[in-house]
Amino acid sequence: MSDASDEWAASSAATEPVRQIRDENPSRYADLTRDQLATLVPELLLIGQLIDRSGMAWCIAAFGREEMLQIAIEEWAAASPIYTRRMQRALGYAPDVPGQGDVVTVFKGLQLDIGAPPQFMDFRYTVHDPWHGEFRLDHCGALMDVEPMGEDYVRGMCHDIEDPTFDATAIATNPHAQVRPIHRPPRTPADRHPHCAWTVTIDPAHPEPEPVPALAVNELSRAARLELAPIDPADEGLADYRGPLLSDVDFGAFSHSALVRIADEVCLQMHLLDRAFALAVAERVETGDELVRLRRKQLVGIAGLGAERLARALDLPHDTAGALRTLWLHPLLNPAAYVPASGGAGSITVAPGPADEDGAWISLCGPHWPDALRAIAGAVSPHLDARVTEAPGAGWRVEVVAGEVRPEAEEVAVTRFSTGASFAFEPRRSIPITPV
């Protein structure tokens, strides 16, 4: 590790489990309706996928394309095994014997993974038996983003990154799972559909891959160990994802309680991914200041674009109240058990908590650096800005104020390069998938 890496990892490692104080930190998503939550969850999944569109451009500028690829590999491989198992436990489809899940378990995890947001990454699944399956991507939004950049970038994503990171996700379910390509880009012919196709095979003869070292570090984080309120099985609607694999997850079929938990888990996925990103970047910088600079550029981009998508999806007003509401629901401030905050008359007060101890996004923000909060306000309306001041005791307070039109931050404009910026979800039928 570099000195910057040692310093950052040591300062943000958890020393004890983190438990939600439910009376003080209920989910901020709990006061949304069930319909609003069913709209919110796929939005959060897509926002999580766009984190790389925000961060990797700055890594290319700082380190070059080859190092950017390695950062992406280490980032996803150090995060996805943790959050895949968290979602399995939350929704009741974890293997009866840890580490002995089947291909259906693998596929369910992909459907609830920020690396594979529904429709934008349009996975179609085939199950042959518990140990053999296939998936194809009828549409790959990530491919649409990188194809204009040239074949080297396509090969880097679809070969160099996907080979180790698909396996890293699958082995969270079973260490003997292997994901292998049937075909993949660069596309020949140029309009080939589906965009790619892969097999998933679980065989005890497959050797267990070696995890990236950062995974063990990330597993000690407070985000990895955070305990959230269980889903209420008496709530109307589905409380879990037991049973058959579905062609498309019908989020509207889940109960209000289940959707709240899913939303909180998806936000934790983002924090775990960002933490893994920070660990990978820390290995490649000379100073802590350089690490902070790159992390802040990533945060501003995803803060602004994420806010724009959330406000649009939930039809929030383009005024100060709408901007505060957007901030309240933004992954930057969620889940509530991770980022303690309170809402007052026209402001939000953020208190120190587990996210600060992890060195998470919120630890970058405050009166000394309000840029991410300003990007959220400006995404709701270019007339809006964020004013951040110290709070009595500890923490800080953010208000949204109206004023002159402000230009969009460069970091948000860079992230807007992704087709995910304007992607629109469509209604889908949810059909059980049976072995063929």
Q: Structure pTM?
A: 0.95
Q: What is the C-alpha separation between 272 and 246, in angstroms, rounded?
A: 27
What tokens does 142 get?
Answer: 């990530």
Beta strands in 165-287 (DSSP E): 177-183, 196-202, 226-227, 245-246
Give the other-Cβ count within 10 Å of 199's Cβ.
16
Q: What strands lie across the sheet with 196-202, from one edge to the other? A: 121-129, 132-140, 196-202, 177-183
Q: Which residues sit opposite 254 in a β-bridge?
A: 238
Give the other-Cβ count within 10 Å of 321's Cβ.
13
User: What is the per-residue pLDDT for 18?
Assistant: 41
User: What is the per-residue pLDDT for 5?
Assistant: 63
Q: What is the C-alpha separation between 204 and 178, in angstroms, rounded?
A: 11
Give the other-Cβ count within 10 Å of 173's Cβ.
30
Q: Which of 430, 420, 400, 417 is nearest to 312 (CA)?
A: 420
52: which DSSP letter? H
User: What is the per-residue pLDDT for 16?
Assistant: 46
- Report residue 173 CA to chain centroid gap: 19
What tokens does 350 get?
Answer: 């953020």
Which residues 6+ apart lie within 8 Å of 371 measured at CB?
A: 296, 300, 409
Q: What is the C-alpha separation between 89 and 307, in angstroms, rounded?
A: 29
Can you spell out the DSSP letters for 199-233?
EEEE-TTSPPPPPPHHHHHHTTSHHHHEE-PPP-T
Q: Which of 311, 285, 284 is nearest to 382 (CA)?
A: 311
341-343 and 245-246 strand pairing: unpaired
In the chain the first and final C-alpha atoms are separated, in Å, by 48
Q: What is the C-alpha separation between 233 and 31, in angstroms, rounded?
A: 18
User: What is the per-residue pLDDT for 319?
Assistant: 97
Q: What is the pLDDT along the chain (436 residues), one digit of tens a residue?
A: 455 666 656 655 554 444 332 334 689 999 999 999 999 999 999 999 999 999 999 999 999 999 999 999 999 999 999 999 999 999 999 999 989 999 999 999 999 999 999 999 999 999 999 999 999 999 999 999 999 999 999 999 999 999 999 999 998 999 999 999 999 999 999 999 999 999 999 999 999 989 999 999 999 999 999 999 999 999 999 999 999 999 999 999 999 999 999 999 999 999 999 999 999 999 999 999 999 999 999 999 999 999 999 999 999 999 999 999 999 999 999 999 999 999 988 999 999 999 999 999 999 999 999 999 999 999 999 999 999 999 988 999 999 999 999 999 999 999 999 999 999 999 999 999 999 8
* Ramachandran area for residue 16 (φ above 0: left; ψ -120 to 50: alpha; else beta): beta
User: What is the per-residue pLDDT for 358?
Assistant: 98
